[in-house]
Structure formats: structure tokens, C-alpha cells
Amino acid sequence: MIYQEKIVQKENLEKFLRTLDSDEGVRIDNESGHVFVNKTSKRYCINISIDNKDEFIYKNNADEVMDFLKNYLKQTTKIFTY
């Protein structure tokens, strides 16, 4: 299997989160660190990685995830799917 990542535009992030499969994920790159979003069969897992410290947050649906991510989506943010 070949690993591929694709750029996601901010305006398409919510749509991608809603259709996220358990073997897919999203990486959000900022100057201060990275945010990873994955989905299990029951909920979303958000991993905030800043200065080699990880914090895990769990949300029940894409709306909650988008609301949480507002603080991490900046003008210079780059978003990738994998």
C-alpha cells in the first residue's frame, strides 16, 4: 500500500470530516504544532501535538470537531488528509 496525502482546503474540511473512514485522518499544520484528527466507530479523536507534548480530545460528531478546531485554523494553516 502506498501512503498518499492530499491537501484539503479549509472550506472543505467539514465535509471531509463527516465522511472520514477509520483508516483515514487529517493533519493540520500550524507554526506552533500539529493537530491530528482520526475517527473510530464511535467518536472522533483529536491529537494536539505541541513541543513534543500530546493532548487527546474526544468529540462525538463533526460539528463538535469543527467548533473545537476554530482555535487552530489560522490564515497560514495547511491541512492534509492521509
Q: What nine digits make up the cell of 32? A: 506552533
Q: Using an 8 Å Cβ cutoff, are 28 and 38 in contact? A: no
Between residues 52 and 65, which one has the greater pLDDT? 65
- In this prediction, residue 46 carries a pLDDT of 98
Mean pLDDT calculated for residue range 19-44: 94
pLDDT tops 80 at residue 76: yes
Mean pLDDT calculated for residue range 27-45: 94
Contacts 24+ apart (CB under 8 A), 3-12: 3/82, 4/82, 5/80, 5/81, 5/82, 6/80, 6/81, 7/78, 7/79, 7/80, 8/79, 8/80, 8/81, 9/79, 10/73, 10/77, 10/79
Average pLDDT of the chain is: 93
pTM for the structure as a whole: 0.90
Domain assignments of the chain as residue spans, ordered by start: 13-75
- In this prediction, residue 32 carries a pLDDT of 85
